Structure 1
Amino acid sequence: MLALVLAFPLYTLAAGSDTKIDAVLSVDVSTSMNESDVNKVSNEAMKMFIDMASVQGDKIGVVAYTDQILREKALLKIGSAADKQSLKTFIDQLTRGPYTDIAVGVNEAVKILESGGSEPGHVPLIVLMTDGNNSLNAGKSQQQSDQVLNEAVKKAKDKGIPIYTIGLNADGTLNKDVLERISTETGGKLFITSTADKLPQILSEIYASHLKLKVVPLTGITANGQFQDVTINIPNASVLEANISMMSSKPVEAKLFNPAGQQQTIPSDKIIYTASSAYTLIKLISPVQGDWKLQIKGVPKEKIDINLIYNYDVQVSMEVLSSNSYKPGDTVPIKAFLESNGAKITDADLYKNLKAALVVTDLDTKKTSETPLTASVQGIEGTFKIAEAHDYEIKVKAEDASFVRESQPVTVSAKKAGASTPVSPPTTGSNEATAGSTSALVGPIAWIVGILLVLIAAVLFALSRWKKANKGFYGQMVVEIKDEDTGERTTPQYRKLNAFKGKVELHQLLQLAPEFAETKQIVFKPGPGDTVVLYNQSGCVIEKGGRLFDAVNGKELKNNDRIKILLQNINKSITVEFIK
């Protein structure tokens, strides 16, 4: 039963609002999964991971692989409930096929993160799931697969992308060594399970581990057919989101009461409600501090597991040191404080059980040590004594039962400053007068020549820009629109391109229909050799042959090239084929 498949302890998570994730979930969809993951728990685990993500800012992509990419979804930046639903719908539509090549899943996940573009405050990760060893078709050797895998792992390591590997060892033949090497070399972690039942718990641990969160086990309930009370404690005013997930294979009713005892409307502006075949999620936005009451009613004897996930707005800031240069024997004063939304936190509850430490890394010996610091509502204080004439990296770590935070690292040096190399003054001599006389004559001529060259260059540049802007197209576009909800397609429409000069927007080819306004930023320009070049500055995802077609900086389309454009504002897709 799915209730048992998803059964794991109730826990709380605390995530830092200052950190967003760029995650690619790469899942093995070989036909062997029909036996090792009969109920497609891997799909439910991935959907739960998506629901755990922040309301806005996190980016998630999905890869479904066998010995090739069956389907993939590029990184989607979550900005609404519709974005999360788009990802979950994509997962529900995944199919399975023969053969397995782990290298394919790793390599494509790295490519997606590369093409997705990094943003400040975002941390990347890959979750790789597989249920067995490689099973290659006759057209590929293990040596070829190993080469692709080694290159992909090296690239992930160089770019700081940890790969968390999950081995579903249902038949006891899993090659753990390969998965362990992938995770160890990239700074991730290996998880092995003999049953798909554990996948949701493992995905939760990965989420927590990657963002340096702490898991606090609590106790679930067994339904008795009546509403049963569960206390949801909001410990302080720094909680941005509180996510309540209820796991059950059968329908669950839920009521929610705030600390004042008032029943809340579900959903509402401050309460987001989502449900799947395996779990229900209630997300509280900026909830008030205190004990909330959740009432749950389930089918008698049905085990219901509940997850409480906190998203805190808490950071650690270390005060600026008076100096970054010291000598052995010096004592460095350390001061830090908790911060929320750019201001110091004075909430005594946050400091009550807080443990703080100074983390020091000797950059010469590469050894790291921790020294306890004193934490109180007045702040975090302590000292660090310089032992050797080395360079050091120091940062403050603060943790309690539900979160871990670290300040930005600071480097201090106890080495003597090296002598600077003096800069020699320019030499002078008796030729200065002659040079000055010559320059007096050359100067006006040089100015005149320079102005003429600039004018000529400007004219040539303007002429080339005019020619480029008025360059004509060849061929035509075949446009077809599909409603992703109903599966209905429009009759293919043929749009001749010779009526346009320089460029044409996809929105123009769609006759400027208001519902397709987001396609204004998808532009076609004439390319070399009677081709067209596609530029995508919109939020739409473009695929070619089932793979991401990244056209931010321009991509050439040749005769009979066919692309699929997935719209973001409406659940429709547009297929465009270029023909001469």
Structure 2
Amino acid sequence: MVMRFEKLLRNLLCVALLLGSVMTGANLAFAGTSGSNMDAVLVVDVSTSMNQSDKNKVSNEAMKMFVDMTSIQANKIGIISYTDKIEREKAMIQVNSEQDKNEIKAFIDSLQKGAYTDIAVGVKEAVKILDAGRDPSNSPIIVLLADGNNYLNAASGRTQAMSDQELQASIKEAQSKGYPIYTIGLNADGQLNRTTLEKIAKETNGKFFETSTADTLPQILSEIFANHLKLKVVPITNFTSNGQAQDVAISIPNANVMEANISIMSQKPVEVKLFDPSGKEVHIPSDQVRLSRSSAYTMLKIVKPQQGEWKLQVKGVPQDKIDINMIFNYELQLEMEPVASKTYQAGDVIPVKAALVSNGQKVASPDLYNQMKATLLIHDLTDQSTSEVAITNTGSGFEGSFTIPADHKYEISVKAEDSSFYRETQPLIIDASAAGSGTATPTPPPAGENTAPEEPFPWLTVVIVALGVILLAALAFYLLSVWRKANKGFIGQIAIEIVDEDTGDKSNPQYKKLNAFKGKVKLHQLLQLAPEFQETDKVVFLPGKNDTLIIENRSTCRIEKGGRVLDVSQGKELKKNDRIKISLSSVNKSVFVDYIV
């Protein structure tokens, strides 16, 4: 009965998708990225060679700053640390709260070093994580922090040629899928392999950065964040602290700023106060102002700030150098008005209009347009030349024209920018070449032919009824599956051993029968809720198919099987006699689990 119901539901869904594509002309392809949200994978080399490049683990602080800058609105972030294997990884999770950010930052703090390094391993895994967890409506990005050098384990049989081949395959895959890789070369010891890192960035449409001191990493990560989301880092000020509260002016240029991220780089802790344009002190932290701190930075995120002149007071340790920058987050896109579909040729003048939009609506904000400049970008696809033409800011949009210079094929787009952000329209193809001269508007019907409109088929009614049936069936199926999942029983038992990594002492195996539980059981429960194992509360076991066990990990624990780190954030199947090792981050102990059927 259930099998038939599932088959019927699948068939109804296929019918609905087909009807939807007929109604809308959709091709069922992925939606274009909006550019305002991102799916980011941060990849860091944690081999021992990095001890000289990043002695104080500033790379960790930089990654945490990147996390803090993201908006709490559907961004996804994943983390990878690698040597010649994947040491730790956190599959992409959606950032919906400060708690989500704190979970990611705690994971970053738990990263540890390893002996060897193979850059191909990190890049390949980053592509896999994006494939598995990205949102098609978000803008994908990979950020790689490394020195670009390999140090392979001779005993493994792995050669440099094998690594190079695997790296090139991963680069091509990232390029084909539109995954830009931004590379940051750490060169404190002068041993940076620029060639490899530049190649990775160039061939995937990312950017390469180089630094000889890890202290500049937060600034570089800020630039990458801004560049990828078409924002700009706005320099505010830099000064040497005198030990007293020093005033800093913060200007919010318009009412369309969604978030203002103020980063305060300093080597010592600072105290901050914030005053709105009316002079009233704003409590930090609060619903409007979020505060993040680390050993390398302090960050304030003002949510939907009021337009006007704000004041920031910063009190640092005497003689400490303080650098303050700001990045605005905007929920804005730039859209070009449609151009008439007709046959084009050299000499034709095409009017061009574009405007900023938010949530599909044009933005009517003179303050937003006040300082903006716009350019028409022209790419001649026939001879591969490019040019730019300034167009007019009307106060509510941008207007200009494109005069076709030759019978070529062109791609045109509009770019608009001010001091804090820029946006570009989707490119538009204008084909005035001989091959494209046949593209014209439809020919009218011959004279005398009956042109009376036929009575349209009631597609809308059909679709509404079909969708209603589908929704009811889906709801029933969902409720049934939830009930079955919550009441599904376990098979077998698990054996648990606890090892003290400092002394090597191992506990006697504890056998836990699973048939007493329904739906799911937490590892913390099986460890008798001992306080020192509190982090295992987010390690969960679920009953699987065919007498298997599913493990999910939402904690900072590291889970290994056969010496390889597993990504079990989305669940991993354990079969009869499988043995896993769960390394705790809060105490230097490991839990070995054997699944026995």
Sort the TM-score into its range (normalised by shorter chain): 0.7 to 0.9
Alpha-carbon deviation of 1:202? 1.9
Look up the match of 2:64.
47
Shift of 1:232: 0.7
Residue 166 of structure 1 is matched in structure 2 by: 184
User: Could you tell me which residue of structure 2 aligns to residue 548 of structure 1?
Assistant: 567
Q: Paired residue for 1:124?
A: 140
Gaps of 5+ in 2: 1-32, 441-480, 500-506, 529-533, 585-589
Structure 1 segments (4+ residues) deviating >6 Å: 468-473, 479-482, 490-493, 508-513, 518-522, 538-543, 563-566, 573-576
Gaps of 5+ in 1: 1-15, 420-464, 483-489, 567-572
Q: Of residues 203, 206, 227 in structure 2, which corresponds to 1:188?
A: 206
**Aligned 1:43-442 pairs, distance under 5 A:** 43-120=60-137, 122-131=138-147, 133-138=149-154, 139=156, 140-323=158-341, 325-414=343-432, 415-417=436-438
Distance between the aligned counterparts of 1:477 and 1:506, measured in 2?
Answer: 14
Contact preservation (8 Å) 1:244, 1:281: yes
Deviation digits for residues 91-145 of structure 1 (CA, Å, limit 9, x no counterpart)? 112211212211122122222112213331x111211112352111112221222
Correspondence 1:32 to 2:49: yes
Deviation larger for 316-325 or 47-56 = 316-325
- Alignment-derived partner of residue 505 in structure 1: 519
**How far is the alpha carbon of 1:208 from its aligned partner?**
2.2
Alpha-carbon shift at residue 168 of structure 1 (Å): 1.5
For 1:343, the aligned partner's letter is Q
Give, in whole Å, the separation in 2 of the partners of 1:325 and 1:214.
Answer: 40
Q: Give yes or no for contact 2:38–2:75 (8 Å, CA) kept in 1.
A: yes
User: How much does 1:327 deviate?
Assistant: 3.6
How much identity, in percent, do the aligned residues show? 53
User: Alpha-carbon deviation of 1:555?
Assistant: 4.5
CA distance in 2, matches of 1:39, 1:543: 23
Query: In structure 1, what is the Cα distance between the partners aligned to 2:175 and 2:213?
Result: 29
Q: Could you list the per-position Cα deviations for residues 442-499 of structure 1 after superposition, in whole angstroms to 9, with x for gaps in the alignment?
A: xxxxxxxxxxxxxxxxxxxxxxx9xx999997533458999xxxxxxx9987554668
In the superposition, the TM-score normalised over structure 1's length comes to 0.76
Equivalent AA in structure 2 for residue 136 of structure 1: L
Contact 1:17 1:313 in 2 (8 A): no
Indicate yes or no: 2:540 matched with 1:526.
no
Please give the alpha-carbon distance, in whole angstroms, between the structure 2 residues aligned to 1:481 and 1:315.
Answer: 54
Aligned residues: 497
Amino acid of the residue matched to residue 247 of structure 2?
A: D
1:380 to partner: Cα distance: 0.8
Task: Answer yes or no: is the 8 Å Cα contact 1:45–1:199 preserved in 2.
Answer: yes
Give the drift of 1:197.
2.6
Q: Deviations over 1:173-224 (max 9, x none)?
A: 3222111211111111222222223222222222222223223434212222
**For the residues of structure 1 that align with 2:323 and 2:539, how far apart are their CA atoms?**
46
Give the 3-state SS of the residue equivalent to 2:132 in structure 1: helix
TM-score (structure 2 length as normaliser) = 0.74
Letter in 2 for 1:297: K
Choose 1 or 2 for highest CA Rg: 1
SS at match of 1:197: helix
CA contact (8 A) 2:260 2:301 kept: yes
Deviation, 1:239, is 0.5
Cα distance 1:279–1:535, how it changes in 2: closer, same or farther (>3 A)? Answer: closer
Q: Secondary structure at the match of 1:100?
A: coil
Matches within 5 A, 1:449-464: none
C-alpha distance in structure 1 between counterparts of 2:497 and 2:568, whole Å: 18
Rounded to whole Å, the distance in 2 between the matches of 1:36 and 1:472 is: 51
Cα distance between partner residues in 1 of 2:539 and 2:319 = 55
Counterpart-to-counterpart distance in 2, 1:365 and 1:558: 63
Q: CA RMSD in A?
A: 3.9
Contact 1:27 1:64 in 2 (8 A): yes
Cα offset for 1:521? 10
Q: Is the 8 A contact 1:270 1:285 kept in 2?
A: yes
